Amino acid sequence: KTCGALPLVPHSEVIQPDRTTNETIQYICQDGYQLNGSSILKCISSQWQPAPPSCEPIICEDPQSYFNGHIELISINSSLKYLLDSVITFQCPSNLILRGSRISKCQINGTWLPNIPTCE
């Protein structure tokens, strides 16, 4: 008995640890994507179980919610904001002083580094 074609998961690669029987497969996401669901599927009763995972883009939190100045997004070519490796610059209103770094980058864990600055 076979499970047939592998479920297609966009932005992923499939690893088949047991190539002799094809009973188990594992999905890993491409760079810039994080796995949502189970990475390992097994062929049970001619069906892949559990349901295949998805690979979702890594997106950092919108910094505008906790920065009280102007934010400019640079180095991005997507309709999705704040993807992995996005770079943003910060500018405070003229009556306030920037405390922290003027530039930050979206990291693989979904955080900004250096940390979001403040305007004081």
Residues 80, 115, single domain; the answer is yes
- The total of other beta-carbon atoms located within 10 Å of residue 54's CB is 16
Q: Is residue 110 domain-resident?
A: yes
Q: Are 106 and 81 contained in the same domain?
A: yes
Q: Do both 83 and 53 map to the same domain?
A: no
Residue 81 is predicted with a pLDDT of 79
Are 37 and 67 contained in the same domain? Answer: no
Looking at residue 91, its amino acid is Q
Kindly state the DSSP code that residue 95 receives in the 8-state scheme: T
Same domain, 67 and 115: yes
| Phi, psi of 39, deg, nearest 5 | -80, -20
Structural domain that includes position 106: 63-119
| 38: CATH | 2.10.70
Going from the C-alpha of 55 to that of each of 48, 72, 82, 119, the distances in angstroms are 18, 27, 17, 36
Cα separation, 59 vs 96, in Å, equals 29
User: If you write DSSP's letter for every residue of 5-67 in order, what string do you get?
Assistant: SPPP-TTEEEE-S-TTT--EEEEEEPTTEEEES-SEEEEETTEEES---EEEEPB---GGGG-
20 lies in the same domain as 46? yes
Looking up residue 81, the CATH number of its domain turns out to be: 2.10.70.10
Residues in the chain: 120
Q: What is the mean pLDDT of each successive set of 10 residues along the chain, which is 120 residues long?
A: 83 78 85 94 88 94 88 74 90 95 94 95
The predicted structure's pLDDT at residue 20: 55
25 shares a domain with 41: yes
Q: How many domains does the chain have?
A: 2
Q: Please indicate, yes or no, whether the overall pTM of this predicted structure exceeds 0.85.
A: no
pLDDT score for 78 = 65
pLDDT of residue 64: 86
